[in-house]
């Protein structure tokens, strides 16, 4: 599998290459945002590892321009622990994120997960389109979920959701009133189980809540059930 690594930390790049290449990955490296974007648009990659802090243009801008042309899986690195940075990246189309304190095992697990998800989507796209076209709209209180169009409106106003936010909302609504664990949610939105390292589900739920104006302390839609998961309220 061919990977593009965009990071200006040359030592880290050597470490990542030294770990991934024996695992069967061919790794190409770019040390600036502009060069990385050019490589990403010109090459054919199974996934891209993208740092947020880059010279010339930052990782968010690389991702923004990349998503105008490509759906290649992107795993973002961040040296900051601010949830806002993670939400911004995920909303712009990143598939997952990793703080720069990651271990090599976690990097490998998350990388394999985003590639696996991408392949599932590609392989099942025709089937998913057929199923969506035959489904009806789901109306639950002031939300209207149009499965065929993959869009959501709230009190008549469109709600802009990312692909995974839409899938998470749909999975919870279809199991309304039942607790769903994080692992089960990942299973429902991806079609198979993932490793215990994949914790980005909480960030996606946080972003979804914000877009639905749902206060987690007084939830109207999504309730957190401590140590168990999430539940969409009836």
Please give the Cα distance from 203 to 209 (Å, whole number).
10
Does residue 180 fall inside a structural domain?
yes
pTM over 0.75: no
Residue 21 lies in a domain: yes
The answer to whether residues 223 and 175 touch, using CB atoms and an 8 Å cutoff, is: no
Residues 25, 54, single domain; the answer is yes
Neighbour tally for 229: CB within 10 Å = 19
Distance CA 158, CA 160 (A): 6
Is 126 a member of any domain? no
Torsion of Cα atoms, 180 then 130 then 1 then 106, to 10°: -10
- Residue 155 included in any domain: yes
Higher pLDDT, 37 or 81: 37
Would residue 167 be called left, alpha or beta, if left means φ above 0 and alpha means ψ between -120 and 50 degrees? alpha
Same domain flag for 108 and 144 = no
Same domain, 6 and 105: yes
3-state helix vs strand vs coil in the chain, percent to 5: 45, 20, 35
Q: Is residue 121 part of a domain?
A: no
Question: Is residue 227, in this structure, part of any structural domain at all?
Answer: yes
Domain total in the chain: 2
Whether residues 110 and 150 share a domain: the answer is: no
Domain ranges, residue 173: 135-232
DSSP state, residue 197: T
- Which of 115, 146, 176 lies at the terminal end of a domain, its last residue? 115
State the CATH number of the domain containing residue 69.
3.40.50.2300
Partner residues linked to 159 by β-bridges:
152
183 Cβ contact partners less than 8 Å away, ≥ 6 residues apart: 193, 194, 196
Question: Taking all residues of the chain, what is their mean pLDDT, rounded to a whole number?
Answer: 83
CATH number at residue 209: 1.10.10.10
* Separation between Cα atoms, residue 61 and residue 68, nearest integer Å: 11
Q: What is the pLDDT of residues 95-112, one digit of tens each?
A: 888 888 888 888 988 888
Average pLDDT estimate for 202-219? 89
Q: Is 108 contained in some domain?
A: yes
Both 148 and 107 in one domain: the answer is: no
Confidence of residue 81 (pLDDT cuts 50, 70, 90): low
- Cα–Cα separations (whole angstroms), residue 206 to 152, 169, 200: 17, 12, 10
pLDDT of residue 194: 43
Query: Looking at the predicted structure, is the pLDDT value of residue 208 above 60?
Result: yes
> Are 142 and 214 found together in one domain?
yes
Interval 144-180: pLDDT, tens: 998 888 899 998 899 998 888 888 999 898 888 888 8
55 in the same domain as 10: yes
pLDDT, average across residues 217-228:
89
């Amino acid at each position: 599998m061919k990977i593009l690594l965009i990071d200006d930390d040359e030592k880290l790049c050597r470490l990542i290459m030294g770990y991934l290449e024996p695992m069967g990955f061919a790794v190409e490296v770019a040390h600036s945002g502009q060069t990385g974007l050019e490589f990403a648009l010109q090459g054919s990659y199974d996934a891209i590892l993208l740092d947020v802090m880059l010279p010339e243009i930052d990782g968010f801008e690389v991702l923004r321009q990349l998503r105008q042309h490509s759906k290649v899986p992107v795993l973002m690195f961040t040296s900051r622990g601010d949830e806002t940075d993670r939400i911004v990246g995920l909303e712009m189309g990143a598939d997952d994120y990793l703080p720069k304190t990651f271990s090599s095992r976690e990097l490998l697990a998350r990388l394999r997960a985003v590639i696996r998800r991408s392949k599932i989507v590609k392989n099942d796209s025709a089937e998913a389109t057929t199923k969506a076209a035959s489904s009806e709209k789901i109306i639950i209180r002031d939300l209207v979920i149009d499965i065929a169009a993959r869009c959501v409106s709230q009190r008549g106003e469109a709600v802009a959701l990312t692909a995974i936010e839409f899938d998470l909302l749909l999975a919870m609504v279809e199991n309304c009133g039942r607790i769903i664990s994080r692992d089960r949610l990942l299973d429902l939105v991806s079609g198979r189980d993932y490793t215990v390292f994949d914790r980005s589900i909480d960030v996606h739920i946080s972003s979804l809540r914000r877009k639905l104006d749902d206060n987690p302390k007084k939830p109207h839609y999504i309730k957190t059930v401590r140590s168990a998961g999430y539940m969409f309220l009836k």
